[in-house]
Amino acid sequence: MASSLLLLRGALPVAPPSPSPPSPLPSPPALLVCISAFRSRSSLSQFGGGAAWRPVCREKRLPRASNGDNAVKEGDVQNEDVQFDVTRMERYTERVPNEVLRVHAVVDGEEDQVIIFKGFSSSLMRPTPDDPAELVLPATATIRGIDRIRGPFNPTKVLLIRGGKGLTWQQFQTLLEDKGC
């Protein structure tokens, strides 16, 4: 990363690309070489060789490390609230795109509602982070209930799926396991 920043500033000498046969694809801009989100299928030494450029997709959410202090065990209950993993719910909505999840949760003692649809989540009560890699609900959040809503979501006319109001995390885990999430 440090070398790519120096390359942008011109502090490192840059050798001109070696001559190569004409390419049907235009050479990518030099800036793309410095951005880690884009990589060539071939090595950078073949920069001018018409290598196909494509974005490298990364995981949208990073899995939480479960160390001994903050480990969430199945069946942990705190005042009838259960801690949960929002990434599994996002994967569920990717596999069931015509379903929206409304999660009623408690964050730092305050009520929160989160809508999860097609792999993305957004808080209705608090600011949602701009970076999709950041979790909408912290690891300390606890769940009160999950509503399964028929998509697309219309807040003025909510159509609940049969048997999908106020599900507990344990009840919803069976749906997650059925869908392989």
Classify strands 120-123 and 142-150 as parallel, antiparallel or unpaired.
Answer: unpaired
Per-residue pLDDT tens for 23-58?
Answer: 454 444 433 333 333 333 434 444 444 444 443 333
* Three-class SS state of 73: coil
Q: Which residue has the higher pLDDT, 155 or 29?
A: 155
Q: Which residue has the higher pLDDT, 160 or 50?
A: 160
Of the candidates 61, 12, 16, 52, the residue with the CA atom closest to the CA atom of residue 32: 52
Distance separating alpha carbons of residues 43 and 21, to the nearest angstrom: 16
Q: Which two tokens stand for residue 120?
A: 């993305």
Can you give the pLDDT at residue 26? Answer: 47
pLDDT at 77 over 50: no
| Whether pTM exceeds 0.95 | no
What integer pLDDT is reported at residue 75 of this predicted model?
Answer: 39
Cα–Cα distances in angstroms (integers) from residue 146 to residues 12, 40, 64, 86, in the given order: 54, 43, 21, 11
* Residue 24 confidence (pLDDT): 52
pLDDT of residue 13: 52
Per-residue pLDDT at 19: 58
Residue 20 has what DSSP assignment? -
Polymer length in residues for the chain: 181
- Reported as a single tens digit per residue, the pLDDT across 79-134 is 344 456 788 888 888 998 899 999 998 888 899 999 999 888 888 888 888 887 78
